[in-house]
């Protein structure tokens, strides 16, 4: 089951998206994120002293997209620049 698909985590993910409106979306495989990529994402947050905030996992056209939520646009753009993906419009 993809991350964010259980009721509790889905509620928290929605709250993150509401409270941290700059959302970066990354395409993930059915198995989830690659371990090395996940470590780089954790390090990105640590170096900026930002707590990782996950949004919902969104299915689109047979693929899954993971979301990370940020309080400011600059950090969201830095995330996208480093890892790819796209910015979701609020």
**CB-CB neighbours of 82 under 10 Å:** 12
Say if 26 falls within a structural domain: yes
Say if 2 falls within a structural domain: no
Q: In degrees rounded to 5, what are phi and psi of residue 70?
A: -130, 150
Say if 50 falls within a structural domain: yes
Q: What is the pLDDT along the chain (90 residues), one digit of tens a residue?
A: 444 444 556 899 999 999 999 999 999 877 788 899 999 999 999 999 999 999 999 988 889 999 999 999 999 999 999 999 999 976
Q: Give the pLDDT of residue 33.
A: 83
Say if 89 falls within a structural domain: no
Say if 40 falls within a structural domain: yes
Say if 61 falls within a structural domain: yes
**Predicted structure pTM score:** 0.83
Say if 63 falls within a structural domain: yes
**CB-CB neighbours of 13 under 10 Å:** 22
Counting the structural domains of the chain, the total is 1
Structure tokens at 90: 């609020």
Say if 88 falls within a structural domain: no
Q: Give the pLDDT of residue 8.
A: 57
Question: Which range of residues forms the domain containing residue 24?
Answer: 7-83
């Amino acid at each position: 089951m993809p991350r964010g698909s259980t009721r509790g985590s889905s509620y928290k993910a929605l709250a993150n998206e509401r409270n941290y409106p700059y959302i970066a979306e990354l395409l993930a495989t059915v198995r989830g994120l690659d371990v090395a990529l996940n470590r780089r994402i954790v390090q990105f947050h640590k170096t900026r002293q930002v707590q990782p905030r996950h949004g919902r996992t969104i299915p689109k056209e047979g693929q899954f997209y993971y979301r990370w939520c940020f309080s400011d646009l600059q950090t969201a753009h830095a995330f996208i620049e480093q890892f790819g993906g796209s910015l979701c419009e609020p």
